[in-house]
Amino acid sequence: MKKQLLLLLLLFASAVANAAPDGEELYQRHCSVCHGDDGKGGVGAPLSLPSFIDAVSDQYLKITIRVGRPGRIMPSFPTLSDAQVNAIVEFMRAWSNVPAVTHNPEPIIGDASHGKALFAKHCAHSTPYLVLLINLSVISTAGRDDRILT
């Protein structure tokens, strides 16, 4: 009888240890203080806005959680397991009602002559301020998806 009880206890303990991580609980514990309980933002950027969550891939969210934004307020979370990061992303994904975007993982091959023509057209005779604005928009666009200037 004692043996059976011990076995039951062991089974219960291993079930608890193997339970799938709770994404909502993890989000509330690690993220909500800055991003808000419902992802609407605070110190941290709003994450549940359709203009954000619908535009980013799961991979983008996972990498952001892992490495944070070095030198900025967004911390990195190197000690969370892959299963925990996945659970947080799954919880965040439920803020959106469209499927997650996926991006082509192939590297973008640059075209120097096209770049030269674009530079001549948009940058060469512009004021430095406009050049800066164009560069910033290219950087922010390239960071999130595969679009390039045409």
Positions touching ligand HEC (CB under 6 A) are 30-31, 33-35, 43-45, 47, 52, 61, 64-65, 69, 72-75, 77, 88
| Residue 70 vs 110, nearer CB to ligand HEC | 70
CA distances in angstroms from 137 to 16, 101, 142, 143, listed in the order given: 47, 20, 8, 10
Q: Which is nearer to ligand HEC, 13 or 73 (CB)?
A: 73
Encoded tokens for 123: 């940058």
Nearer to ligand HEC, 47 or 86 (CB): 47
Question: Helical H runs in 19-81?
Answer: 23-30, 32-35, 50-53, 58-67
Q: Assign residue 20 a region (left: φ > 0; alpha: ψ between -120 and 50; beta: otherwise).
A: beta
- C-beta closer to ligand HEC: residue 74 or 86: 74
User: What's the chain's length in residues?
Assistant: 150
Nearest-approach distance from CB 101 to ligand HEC, in angstroms: 14
Give the nearest distance from C-beta 80 to ligand HEC in angstroms: 7
